């Protein structure tokens, strides 16, 4: 299992941040470079059918040791979030964590702010140096998958069916499976290894939409602005204030949805607001989109031809895709329990490639990587959690071989 740490420490040093302003796919060339690197890793393990297509998808096969078992896929994404710096990651290893603060270059990760640290006293914890994210989302998943298939390759006495692995670009900007070839992947079902703390098992996620509000103002000299000036930035602020103040990420949890103001760029002349809209319930999700439309329409009546709203659906709650195949979730739960992990089954307050793949006829629950505080400099991951993810993947393969 030492391999998983070594792989992870190597992978996080590859700069793979995606770019949501790019029109190419993948959005950054550095992801293609990492894809080629991972293909080399697959060759060194001895996998078959290794391919990197023009979109940057990496696929490979571990041949079955038993016939008649389902083909199981394991999927992780190569990119890291553009929400934080992803270049120059310098891993920081804390051995035998003592329960106190972890000082980094500019910040500290403290148990007062992150009480979950107390669960890992005595463990080895990996962080970045405080100036970048770590990249456990989702390079931990990649390291765990490749370590698991390398272990299975080295231990042919463990029965398993055909295993397919896939690594995707641009998941963090919602485009991860835009060109994913489900037929070529050829799995009966799959798992994304893209969750958080140890034990997470998820087959529900947010319904998701992205909203862009564009405002055109009228800028005149403020000394003679009465009844003439339209301040686009102020108008944007008025729209923000009209939305429910408690229905934001910082004030919601569990299955509560929200409106999240991602960015606000504005001057007197123009303003652009970027929102994401999230809700688990399909009906309530529709109400949220209608609310935003209604509030913007109200402002349009006051300021004709000044405001436009575009709402684009991103992904849907995958829960409905498992009504007739809950055995896939049960298999993962059984595997976790078999390796001493307590399953924590709860909805994802976010989304994964698996959510969209499930609607593309590839049922795909999400399994933990072990990481915490993704997308920022407070990110960390305990080594034991990564090792348990590897064990879970191996056990899923083994238990899956018994299913016909």
The residues facing 210 across adjacent strands are: 276, 312
Q: What is the C-alpha separation between 376 and 399, in angstroms, rounded?
A: 36
**Angle at the Cα of 142 (from 138 to 145), degrees rounded to 5?**
135
Instruction: Tell me, yes or no, if 171 is annotated catalytic.
Output: yes
- Give strand ranges (E) for 131-280: 163-168, 189-195, 200-202, 207-216, 258-266, 270-279
For the record, the structure tokens of 226 come out as: 């009465």
- What is the residue whose two structure tokens read 């349009």? 300
For the record, the structure tokens of 87 come out as: 């270049």
Question: Which is nearest to 76 in space by CA: 118, 138, 134, 33?
Answer: 138
Instruction: Tell me, yes or no, if 256 is annotated catalytic.
Output: no
The single residue of 138, 170, 171, 391 carrying the catalytic annotation is: 171
**Angle at the Cα of 174 (from 52 to 178), degrees rounded to 5?**
45
Q: What percent helix, strand, coil does the chain show, rounded to 5?
A: 35, 25, 40
The single residue of 79, 137, 353, 379 carrying the catalytic annotation is: 79
Q: What is the C-alpha separation between 123 and 98, in angstroms, rounded?
A: 8
For the record, the structure tokens of 402 come out as: 């018994």
Q: Give 9's contacts (C-beta < 8 A, 6+ positions apart).
A: 91, 126
Q: What is the C-alpha separation between 108 and 381, in angstroms, rounded?
A: 15
Considering only CA atoms, give the Rg of the chain.
23
| Preceding omega of 317 cis (within 30 degrees of 0) | no
Q: Which residues are known to be catalytic?
A: 79, 171
């Amino acid at each position: 299992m030492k391999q998983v740490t070594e792989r992870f420490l190597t992978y996080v040093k590859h700069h793979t941040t995606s770019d949501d302003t790019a029109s190419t796919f993948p959005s950054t060339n550095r992801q293609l470079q990492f894809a080629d690197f991972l293909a080399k890793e697959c060759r060194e393990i001895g996998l078959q059918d290794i391919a990197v297509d023009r979109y940057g998808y990496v696929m490979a096969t571990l041949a079955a040791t038993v016939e008649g078992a389902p083909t199981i896929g394991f999927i992780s994404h190569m990119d890291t979030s553009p929400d934080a710096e992803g270049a120059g990651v310098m891993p920081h290893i804390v051995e035998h964590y003592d329960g106190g603060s972890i000082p980094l270059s500019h910040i500290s990760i403290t148990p007062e702010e992150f009480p979950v640290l107390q669960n890992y006293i005595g463990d080895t914890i990996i962080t970045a140096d405080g100036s970048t994210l770590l990249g456990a989302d989702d390079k931990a998943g990649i390291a765990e998958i490749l370590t698991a298939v390398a272990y299975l390759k080295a231990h042919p006495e463990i029965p398993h069916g055909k295993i397919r692995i896939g690594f995707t670009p641009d998941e963090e900007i919602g485009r991860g499976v835009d060109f994913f070839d489900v037929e070529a992947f050829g799995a009966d079902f799959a798992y994304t290894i893209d969750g958080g703390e140890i034990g997470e098992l998820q087959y529900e996620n947010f319904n998701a939409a992205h909203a862009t509000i564009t405002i055109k103002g009228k800028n005149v000299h403020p000394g003679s602005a009465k009844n003439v000036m339209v301040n686009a930035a102020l108008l944007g602020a008025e729209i923000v204030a009209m939305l429910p103040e408690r229905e934001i990420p910082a004030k919601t949890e569990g299955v509560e949805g929200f409106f999240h103001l991602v960015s606000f760029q504005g001057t007197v002349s123009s303003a652009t607001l970027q929102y994401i809209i999230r809700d688990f319930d399909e009906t309530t999700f529709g109400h949220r989109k209608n609310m935003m439309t209604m509030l913007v329409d109200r402002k349009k009546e006051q300021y004709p031809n000044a405001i436009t709203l575009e709402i684009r659906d991103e992904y849907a709650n995958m829960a409905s895709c498992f009504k007739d195949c809950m055995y896939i979730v049960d298999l993962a739960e059984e595997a976790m329990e078999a390796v001493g992990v307590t399953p924590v089954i709860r909805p994802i307050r976010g989304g994964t490639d698996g959510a969209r793949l499930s609607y593309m006829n590839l049922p795909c629950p999400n399994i933990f990587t072990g990481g915490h505080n993704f997308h920022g400099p407070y990110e960390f991951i305990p080594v034991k959690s990564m090792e348990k993810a590897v064990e879970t993947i191996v056990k899923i393969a083994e238990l899956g071989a018994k299913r016909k």
